[in-house]
Structure 1
């Protein structure tokens, strides 16, 4: 796990990303002069570009103490009846203070990346996605501690549904940085204590709740908050096909009703603790997946380039007709060698993304109550002041060779043992919490990219090996014909055009791919043509955009040659 946590916040406009970030900054140390994250007014997106905030977060929970006696107020959030009737509006800022439980807490550096709102009021999702990828590219070039993303956080108002638009954008991000989504956190904002109380009252009014209370007496059913979280999680899993850790939070608690502030602070601690447990993803392993518009743009450029290649091919044919048999063979072998070089480079790029030891997070298991562990019984009010002990079992039969990283959460809870069965298909972790604390530990299940993408890597390796073998054969033949031709003058134009045709193939393949590496696909030339089309439409594209692209890739001679083709682009 990394000391520096780089957290990427995504989500719809007006759903609380910036408000949450400001609350997090309020609980941290940060350099003077840092502006607050811009908060919208409810009518339009406020964050137009990525903004970054670096803070030192104090990793501690908080407690409520009497100002006069300094005695702590003991209560459990899961004992909702006691919370709402005896604590919430009874303990106010007039008589009570919030103090950190730890006098000298650990700190962690957080880099909080606030992104433009998805599905915003201006319909600029294409621009916003590119803005995020551009920011990540810049971040990766900033030096140590900046070359990874620790976690992706989906921030959504607790009352908002997972709309089709949100699903589309979510899946886009998942395709760009899949390693991070097994540890995705969903922060459900706007969960005020008032709304919590309303949910509690609704739950208590149900007939089955009364029956259950009579049967269980001192062992009530799950709290209203946990029931809401579980339902939300089930809906999320059904829609997206995998689980996610959900947090409910009020980013703007009432200052006077100080218990609200206490609950918010401790919830933020839980969130940061969750982030700290995740496997970071190197930014160089992130790819820019082209959306539909980007694919259309690049396919149009590829069509023009194919036309240029055809014209150059006609000239090559004319020159070949003038060459003897050995000259023709030499030209063909030269072109084939260049084509294989291009294929090999592309295969290496694809392998670099997945054939590495970066961890691919399958999922993150939690001892938190929303996952229905047997520890649920421990949340009954009669045992909350005792030390809670239980066991978490992890099985991932679809991912043999998986590993589990299970960091402790001192001084609140710890793993007392971690064991594997003999065939390493089941991991068992025993844990306990400090007296009066709810155990909140994470077990991150992962495999290396190399294992997760084993089949795809094997296919790419096979293609790469074949391309290399073919290249060796072609180069030997090329060498033979070159030595034969050495005694005779070689047509320099034929040689030149053969190389230019190979460059055309390289660029056509690049344009026709549905993704680009974050380093090569985010240069100014790419961004400008995408931006132009977003503003003015596809009809604004011209051959000049193709020529600028060719030049940006370092093929200056090819750019000049195509520019001088008679009536090209007319």
Structure 2
């Protein structure tokens, strides 16, 4: 099992439709990392127009503490069990009919720095997707961001429109190497609707999940449900939110980072916008030189024009050399390719109480009978677990199979996430 405790910095990219809660989610994460942080309401917008028109970087530091709820006798409350009871009782508990308070656990984990990159909205009426893409990649280049650990795509309870689907498809096609690092965060979720008796709400969520999986081309994309209510004083609701924020950051820490250079090499039609911007920079330099020459005599004009064109060529060739150097550095190393991913998430499974999954295994029967599989070796395995206990494990790195059996410690917030990689030669 790989030890990722040495990873001290993670980069998270936020995408989503305008007013889908990206900026609010970032403010929530700042508040999670520092409970004394005063939320900047101006960063959130007014709910009508997109507030973010450029890439905005925020940085937080945290050792990923969990939270729990205590009753008036100072005993821990397993609030997940309320989902197994009567729906009205569950709603009563969420609405503070008893005396509860939330408390943060002390974490023994190392502190990690998370850089959060907020971006203009997908499918924004004020900014075309092409321009958004150019802004995002230009900003990542300018900031010298080496890699991305997690891409958070926010979606709301609003109807999943065709325009939004098309916008998401454009981004998925643009970022194929980041497909394995994407998580969908469903914002503005009313936690009282998560009871299994809320059949219509649960079915709508499951259908949206199915559409998103279809869009991604795989059905193992993680999903996190959150209400985005900053500073709620209701203990259980707040605790649920805090632990889900922690889950997002833990996911970023779990993921293998994808080099920004790899992303830039996947040039779709929209990606060529970035190339056009760079070309525009060089042409602008030449134009500036030419305008300067207008006020010079003919002899000087000849010399200066030649010098100006040479200088522009030098700038261009320097940029080309930098790109080639980065390409060579990338191709000179093997990268990890995501082979298999599976996730047990209590927040989703509790909406289907009959689901009691406690085992995961690789490979499936079809893959294990594939020609040449016997020579297949697993190179890297990463896991994230919370409120579950591993009872038995088999196979792993250096083997051609892997399996785990686990048991849940508590009903609430159980997570077991595995990602298995093989090396890909560049």
1:260 and 2:237 are equivalent in the alignment:
yes
Shift of 1:113: 0.9
Q: In 1, distance between residues paired with 2:63 and 2:274?
A: 48
Structure 1 partner of 2:106? 103
Q: In 2, distance between residues paired with 1:78 and 1:445?
A: 34
Going from structure 1 to structure 2, the CA distance change for 1:359 and 1:297 (only over 3 Å counts) comes to closer
Residues 144-203 of structure 1: CA deviation (Å, up to 9, x unaligned): xx5221011111113341x44444443443444433212310001111135446x83445
1:285 and 2:265 are equivalent in the alignment:
no
Shift of 1:84: 4.2
Mark the runs of 5 or more structure 1 residues left unpaired by the alignment: 141-145, 204-223, 306-342, 380-388, 451-456, 458-570
Q: In 1, distance between residues paired with 2:415 and 2:225?
A: 15
Q: In 2, distance between residues paired with 1:345 and 1:52?
A: 25
Q: In 2, distance between residues paired with 1:80 and 1:228?
A: 21
Shift of 1:408: 4.8
Shift of 1:236: 1.8
TM-score with structure 1 setting the length: 0.55
Going from structure 1 to structure 2, the CA distance change for 1:266 and 1:129 (only over 3 Å counts) comes to same
Shift of 1:248: 1.4
Secondary structure of 1:367's match? strand
Q: In 1, distance between residues paired with 2:212 and 2:46?
A: 28
1:404–1:427 Cα contact (<8 Å) kept: no
1:88–1:257 Cα contact (<8 Å) kept: no
Structure 1 partner of 2:359? 391
Alignment of 1:364-383 (within 5 A): 364-369=341-346
Q: In 2, distance between residues paired with 1:195 and 1:254?
A: 20
Secondary structure of 2:80's match? coil
Q: In 2, distance between residues paired with 1:66 and 1:293?
A: 54
2:384–2:418 Cα contact (<8 Å) kept: no
Going from structure 1 to structure 2, the CA distance change for 1:293 and 1:344 (only over 3 Å counts) comes to closer
TM-score with structure 2 setting the length: 0.72
Going from structure 1 to structure 2, the CA distance change for 1:296 and 1:425 (only over 3 Å counts) comes to closer
Q: In 2, distance between residues paired with 1:394 and 1:420?
A: 9
1:31–1:55 Cα contact (<8 Å) kept: no
Structure 2 partner of 1:183? 181
Q: In 1, distance between residues paired with 2:124 and 2:404?
A: 43
2:150–2:252 Cα contact (<8 Å) kept: yes
Select 1:235's aligned residue among 194, 211, 214: 211
2:149–2:252 Cα contact (<8 Å) kept: yes
Shift of 1:14: 0.7
Q: In 1, distance between residues paired with 2:38 and 2:347?
A: 40
Structure 1 partner of 2:302? none
Structure 2 partner of 1:49? 54
Q: In 1, distance between residues paired with 2:332 and 2:209?
A: 32
Q: CA RMSD in A?
A: 4.1
Q: Which structure is higher in helix share?
A: 1
Shift of 1:255: 2.8
Alignment of 1:508-523 (within 5 A): none
Q: In 1, distance between residues paired with 2:155 and 2:128?
A: 19
1:230–1:370 Cα contact (<8 Å) kept: no
Going from structure 1 to structure 2, the CA distance change for 1:72 and 1:358 (only over 3 Å counts) comes to same
Structure 1 partner of 2:197? 200
Secondary structure of 2:214's match? helix
Going from structure 1 to structure 2, the CA distance change for 1:30 and 1:6 (only over 3 Å counts) comes to farther
Q: In 2, distance between residues paired with 1:89 and 1:123?
A: 43
2:150–2:251 Cα contact (<8 Å) kept: no
Residues 335-377 of structure 1: CA deviation (Å, up to 9, x unaligned): xxxxxxxx9999987675556323233453112258979x976
Q: In 2, distance between residues paired with 1:275 and 1:39?
A: 23
Q: In 2, distance between residues paired with 1:426 and 1:293?
A: 38
Q: In 1, distance between residues paired with 2:262 and 2:158?
A: 34
Select 2:11's aligned residue among 6, 9, 16: 6
Structure 2 partner of 1:519? none
Mark the runs of 5 or more structure 2 residues left unpaired by the alignment: 284-319
Q: Higher relative contact order at CA 8 Å, sep ≥6: structure 1 or structure 2?
A: 2
Q: In 2, distance between residues paired with 1:435 and 1:196?
A: 18
Secondary structure of 2:52's match? coil
Q: In 1, distance between residues paired with 2:215 and 2:407?
A: 34
Alignment of 1:161-560 (within 5 A): 161=160, 163-196=161-194, 200-202=197-199, 229-243=205-219, 244-252=221-229, 255-287=232-264, 289=267, 291=269, 294=272, 353=330, 356-369=333-346, 390-395=358-363, 397=367, 400-409=376-385, 412-420=387-395, 424-435=399-410, 439-450=414-425
Q: In 2, distance between residues paired with 1:353 and 1:49?
A: 28
Q: In 1, distance between residues paired with 2:82 and 2:8?
A: 32
